Structure 1
Amino acid sequence: MPTVRLSSVVMTHPVRLEQARELAGRLRLDGLALDPAPDGPPSALRTALVAWAAAAPGASHHLVVQDDVSAPEELTALVGRAAGRFPAEALVFYTNWHARNGGAARLAALAGAGWVRAVPDEFTPSLAVCLPVATAAEFRRFAEGSAERHDDELLSVFFRARGPMSLIAVPNVVEHIGTSSINGHAAQGIRLAVCPLDAADAGPVLEHGPVLEEPGWIPYMRYGEGYVRLVGQERAPDGGRGHHPWREALPHTGIGAEDVRGAVADAMPKELADEVAHRFGRAFAEELWIHCLLLGRQAAGAARRLGGAPGGVPADALARMREAAVATAGPAGLPPERRPEAGPDEVRLMAAFAGTAVSAAELLPPA
């Protein structure tokens, strides 16, 4: 494993300066990268360029963390070991629970993978990213003068142009905090990690878990409805940014509508379905269950391709990773205005309900 010399900063705006200082101090990060024009139009990219320029002399890799996260004190150690394992890769340590990349990470967690390749038709989650310093310098040159203000969007444009897309850590040790957004994302409401796991469990998964390079089509859920990210949809005229409802996408999956109807009739638990429907509506309950049914089918196929359980990863850590991924499916799938209604009891209810759907995937034609 090559020697990794990691440098690190928190990118921040003056309105969050104290929060950023506390985070940098607690995680023992090297410093802060301040918005150079805080009174100008909101632009995460403007601050990101300062952050990516702050790599320390002699560093091999540079970690940029945004100011609105929580993370364990072991973060830099985990990042350093990951960079040693994948020295040439862009590494992402947080993924939104309702994004397409979140769907890919949830699928990968159920398959027992430690990492998954990001999809090319979505933003790169940028709350905690580590780049080789040469890649960081290349990104700065690419981004200078861009009219884009979202660093996460431009990172994906950059990776698509140079290849490959980033590697996403399946267990998330970094968590988003708060619902405010300097860059205009507050309307998305509560947005959390897809697969939160503590450092003790995440460490061996990140060090030894396999990489899921191609998960196939990816079920994901947003704003109360289930969708499918199709293989190769990035080649569509709109760059693949459109959303395909699962019913419309089903003919491209190898699964028939009658297969889904049969699984619903045979395996959806009526009492749990009624409880979820009572709290969040019948339509949401059915969308959540079918979403997780499709997710379980794809995860089973991915697990077969990956082979057996990876050496060096405790079975109980893998089990907790899978449980965490299932537990976020329900609240992530709710419309933003209803996510605050998902308290601990509702999350447990939806997790139990979603788990029955994942298990019922054996009723569908195999991947």
Structure 2
Amino acid sequence: MKKTFFAVLIALLAAGCSPAASTESADGVKRVTIQIDGAAVPYYAPLYAAKEQGFFSKAGLDVSFTYAAGSDIVKNVAAGNVDFGFPNGDSVITAYGKGVKTRVVHTTYQQGIGALLSTGQANINSPADLKGKNVAVTDLGSPNYIQLQAMLKQSGLSLEDVKVTTIGTGAIVDALKNGQVDAIVFSRLRYYALKSAGVDVRQILSDEFLPSFGNVVVTSPEKVKDDPATVKAFVTALDQGLDFVTKDPAGAVSMAVDKYAPTFNGQQEAVTTIVKDVFVKTLWHSPEGFGHADENRWQQAIEAQVGYKLIDASFKAGELVVKPDALG
């Protein structure tokens, strides 16, 4: 028994978690943790603003941020090791289909952030122009690889019509710049960095061919059932953070860089342009308000994963996505 306990403890610590999730202090403030995909970047400004502007504290929450890979985040949330997660929506669907159950309580990014990026020299104006081209993805199990297949399929092509190269995250953009490949399927945010570097870059958004989602807030089914007030408090404060960044992108980016992402110092102006042109206009936008879950789009994303054999069987989007009124 003792040996088992220490094995579990070591596994939790290795994942960057503590054995206990939320705790409530004597003054009634609830301490919660959200594990965020990747590393601290200024594009997570709404979360940082919710903390720095006091929206979380006014909601009775003391929120801590940690970071991990998307697949690890989903596992940690499902196990109750952390209260909330902020992974890519695609990884949430894949995990759910494989029995790792979480609930989406806030569809923060209404669209996926994948895109086909190419240089003008490659003369790729539509996916049909990919025939015979060398296209890079980071991994054959990545969402971007599925997005490439969807683009090809809707253009009457298949993987046999292109040469697919795998290149790591740190080198894939340089491979495009240096002409090693004709195109890459990667983050649409890199379009702006390439453009500002003087590259003649073109982009085709993956979301036009395969509905998907970027980062979303997830929690465990148990937390939705047993502590809906905390979940509602968290997403309400996040909505206030999103509203703050929408109204003052430059100020929010400056705050995020100063306090959380200092490696972006000197890039504030470029990041602010991306926040205004991509996040405010498209990714965060929904006619029904911040965080709204379009169940039809979620269902399409689920069916796509079945079709491309990422998961074995379909399930109802309503099992995964929590409606706001379910939180009281």
TM (norm. structure 2) is 0.28
TM (norm. structure 1) is 0.26
